Amino acid sequence: DAGVTQSPTHLIKTRGQHVTLRCSPISGHKSVSWYQQVLGQGPQFIFQYYEKEERGRGNFPDRFSARQFPNYSSELNVNALLLGDSALYLCASSYPTGRNTEAFFGQGTRLTVV
Amino acid sequence: GENVEQHPSTLSVQEGDSAVIKCTYSDSASNYFPWYKQELGKRPQLIIDIRSNVGEKKDQRIAVTLNKTAKHFSLHITETQPEDSAVYFCAASIAAGNQFYFGTGTSLTVIP
């Protein structure tokens, strides 16, 4: 059974550019959450989607957006990239109920903004 | 919003000794508290979790305790082994769904 998969694994972008990160949840999981992990810190919650609807948003600027598709995969978009957006972006999926249950993380996308 | 604090930031123990990591949270509505282990360059992996209706949970060498009144919870690892060396994160979740608020992490080193 495949785990949570994210693509790409590494990405280098220039300031001001736009980036799209992708996440495929574990089969049967309908909840997907996104986190930003800056080096040396804990993951910070960005978005949660459940059944294709946004269920929560962390303290991030409007440059960050996301969506969930009918197959429950998800995209995280970041516009007008800043140097400070350099981080590991993690996606997590969980069971269909969407309640507080175990979240399984992907391996992350390492974004470097230069 | 929820604020989770974690101490210590680094911890070194001799193999076989115990390790304790402590976290506090701010929002009394938080009701789910997972602990994740993250090895260098790898994804966070759940090692144990506890819900607000339980005071303690144990899984072999790992245990977690929760004090709802004081809003703090702790991870206890007994008989530590070199493979326990990693960064450990506590987290708290308020609402339904996996909206976790993480602590800043504890880098545990087990010295053989």
Q: Contact B88/B76 with Cβ under 8 angstroms? A: no
User: Does B34 touch chain A if contact means CB atoms closer than 8 Å?
Assistant: yes
Q: Given pLDDT bands bounded at 50, 70 and 90, which one contains residue A100?
A: low
pLDDT tens for A52-97 read 999 889 999 999 999 999 999 999 999 999 999 999 999 999 886 6
pLDDT (0 to 100) of residue A98: 52
Three-class DSSP category at B53: coil
Among A87-91, B53-57, B86-90, B105-109, where is mean pLDDT lowest?
B53-57
Question: Which residue is closest to A91 within chain B, CA to CA?
Answer: B43
- CA B33/CA B94 separation, integer angstroms: 9
Q: Which amino acid is at B84?
A: D
pLDDT (0 to 100) of residue A74: 97
pLDDT (0 to 100) of residue B99: 87
pLDDT (0 to 100) of residue A18: 98
Average pLDDT over residues B17-44: 94
Inter-chain touch B96–A98, beta carbons under 8 Å: yes
On chain B, the residues whose CB falls within 8 A of the CB of A103 are: 34, 46, 98, 100
The pair phi, psi for residue A95, each rounded to 5°, is -65, 165
